[in-house]
Amino acid sequence: MDEDRGASFVELFFDLVFVFGITQVVAYIHGQLDWPTLWRAAVILALMWWAWTQYTWLAGYSDFDELRPRLVLLLATAGTFILAVSVQAAWAGDGRIFGLAYFGVMALAGAFMWLNARADEIKGRAKPDQMAGMVAYILRMMAGTVLVLVGGFVAADQRPWFWIGAVVVNLLSALTVEQYEYEINASHFAERHGLFVIIVLGEGLIAIGVGIVGQAGSTAFYVAGTAMLLIALAMWWSYFDWLRPIGEKALKNATGMGRGRLARDAY
């Protein structure tokens, strides 16, 4: 898994839909900057980020020139689109669409994880305890997913207990299976996160432009617009000129279980 490999176009397509979901989280916050709104948005963002990371780990050892992996990611893209569309209404009286879409996206990831591990086992490529580790993780991952699903069907005032619980279970699921080794392709893993960041920054530039076009100009208006643009540029520079190469080098230097732990903790 140490050979350099780049992300595929279908992965980039998948990322675009997830970034659309993040813009919906921002839209949910817009116009109501209070603490209850912010923590609800943070919970949704944590759940969506977790879902994205599962496919990022999966994609590291999937060949998207093959039909099955490509179909899985396209199905996940469709499910993620439904998930993203339901974000703004997720905390309202009816969160069932969000819960069902999230369950579908995560269940598909879990099934694909198991199929990949099983294929490696059949072909004799599996590392010791690979299947045991994958099954242990999938069961824990799906526990958090079930909490999201159930939370979508309960009363709105009870929903926070389920969805906050899901975030906690998700985090614990990665910590409690660290005795197993998980394969990470360093170059691919770093590039996938870099692509996600650059799409988000691009969406930020679009938001700045939409806010400026057609508005009456003033000194304060242009100063604020310039400042926002410079911040976006500085964020790009700091990540792609510094953080990304450092992260990729650290991943490449790590071996065995250490690489998986570094990927989990740093990214």
**Domains of the chain: total:** 2
Q: Give me the domain span that covers residue 204.
A: 186-267
**Final residue of a structural domain among 122, 157, 183:** 183
Q: Verify that 39 and 95 share a domain, yes or no.
A: yes
Give the model's pLDDT for residue 213.
Answer: 75
CA distance linking residue 76 with residue 5, whole number of Å = 22
Q: Verify that 84 and 203 share a domain, yes or no.
A: no
Give the model's pLDDT for residue 203.
Answer: 83
Q: Which residues contact 236 (CB under 8 A, 6 or more apart)?
A: 198, 201
Give the model's pLDDT for residue 139.
Answer: 93
CA distance linking residue 148 with residue 162, whole number of Å = 6
Q: Verify that 213 and 111 share a domain, yes or no.
A: no
Give the model's pLDDT for residue 2.
Answer: 57
Q: pTM for this structure?
A: 0.89
| Residue 18 domain flag | yes
Give the model's pLDDT for residue 126.
Answer: 61
> Can you tell me which residue has the tokens 């057609």?
214
| Residue 1 domain flag | no
Q: Verify that 124 and 69 share a domain, yes or no.
A: yes
Q: Verify that 44 and 164 share a domain, yes or no.
A: yes
| Residue 248 domain flag | yes
Q: Verify that 131 and 33 share a domain, yes or no.
A: yes
Residue ranges of the chain with per-residue pLDDT less than 50: 1
Q: Verify that 190 and 159 share a domain, yes or no.
A: no
